């Protein structure tokens, strides 16, 4: 097994780190992100970048070392380049529009569904594509999941809100089931 957790997280141009007791903060052109460090792991800034070290050699410490390294790498990418997820709206009369910071979805209900943008996350709409952008990978993913949950894709008709590139396995309807019985 590789020990990827012990390799340093390289800081991109424009990213800076502020270390505090039990936490670290990464700042960049797209914003700043802060994360607490669990007590099983310590963080140090070196010439190569950020290095996470285990305080003890336990299973939990090994797991947290790799987890914290992955979080730090995602944070560096987020504050320098940002994260984005795109969703497609498929269906007659389904549409989305940005109202201020919020997203208004018309997805077959009698009323529009308003999704409030979490702090640090923005929405863009172009035709039938919704783009969720932000510096925090977890917030961007959760906001995209919340949008998809408004009207998940229907397996019979294919209408709904899906991730771009997501493949929806379609089921045969009642007519196909009747034809198989004969």
Task: Look at residue 178 and tell me whether its pLDDT is greater than 90.
Answer: no
Residue 122: predicted pLDDT: 94
Q: How far apart are CA 174 and CA 170, in angstroms?
A: 13
Q: Do 108 and 94 form a contact (C-beta atoms < 8 A)?
A: yes
pLDDT bracket for residue 108 (50, 70, 90): confident
Residue 113: predicted pLDDT: 94
Residue 3: predicted pLDDT: 75
Residue 76: predicted pLDDT: 94
Task: Look at residue 182 and tell me whether its pLDDT is greater than 60.
Answer: yes
Tell me what the mean pLDDT of segment 79-108 comes to. 93
Distance of CA 27 to the CA centre of its chain: 19
| Range in 5-14, 25-34, 87-96, 133-142 with the lowest mean pLDDT | 5-14
Task: Look at residue 1 and tell me whether its pLDDT is greater than 60.
Answer: no
CA distances, 24 to each of 17, 27, 33, 132, 145 (Å): 7, 10, 9, 26, 27
Residue 153: predicted pLDDT: 93
Tell me what the mean pLDDT of segment 146-163 comes to. 93
**What is the chain's Cα-based Rg?**
22
Task: Look at residue 163 and tell me whether its pLDDT is greater than 60.
Answer: yes
- The residue whose two tokens read 């034809």 is 179
Could you report the per-residue pLDDT of 31-65, keeping only the tens digit for each? 999 999 999 999 999 888 899 999 998 999 989 99
Task: Look at residue 90 and tell me whether its pLDDT is greater than 90.
Answer: yes
Q: Work out the end-to-end distance of the chain between its first and last CA atoms, rounded to an integer number of angstroms.
A: 55
Domains of the chain and CATH, by start: 4-80 (3.90.930.12), 83-163 (3.90.930.12)
Q: Do 79 and 26 form a contact (C-beta atoms < 8 A)?
A: yes
Task: Look at residue 6 and tell me whether its pLDDT is greater than 90.
Answer: no
Task: Look at residue 176 and tell me whether its pLDDT is greater than 80.
Answer: no
Q: Do 100 and 107 form a contact (C-beta atoms < 8 A)?
A: no
Residue 7: predicted pLDDT: 84
Residue 2: predicted pLDDT: 59
Q: How far apart are CA 67 and CA 88, in angstroms?
A: 31
Q: How far apart are CA 37 and CA 144, in angstroms?
A: 27
């Amino acid at each position: 097994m590789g020990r990827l957790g012990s390799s340093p997280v390289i800081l991109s141009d424009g990213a800076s780190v502020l270390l505090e007791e039990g936490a670290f903060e990464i700042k960049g052109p797209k914003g700043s992100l802060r994360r607490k460090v669990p007590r099983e792991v310590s963080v140090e800034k070196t010439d190569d970048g950020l290095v996470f070290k285990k305080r003890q050699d336990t299973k939990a410490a090994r797991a947290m070392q790799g987890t914290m390294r992955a979080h730090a790498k995602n944070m560096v990418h987020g504050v320098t380049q940002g994260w984005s997820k795109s969703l497609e709206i498929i269906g007659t009369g389904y549409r989305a529009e940005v109202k201020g910071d919020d997203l208004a979805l018309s997805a077959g209900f009698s009323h529009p569904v308003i999704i409030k943008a979490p702090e640090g996350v923005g929405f863009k709409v172009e035709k039938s594509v919704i783009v969720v952008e932000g510096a925090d990978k977890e917030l961007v993913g959760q906001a995209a999941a919340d949008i998809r949950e408004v009207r998940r894709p229907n397996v019979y008709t294919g209408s709904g809100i899906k991730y771009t590139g997501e493949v929806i396995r379609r089921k045969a309807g009642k007519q196909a089931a009747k034809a198989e019985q004969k």
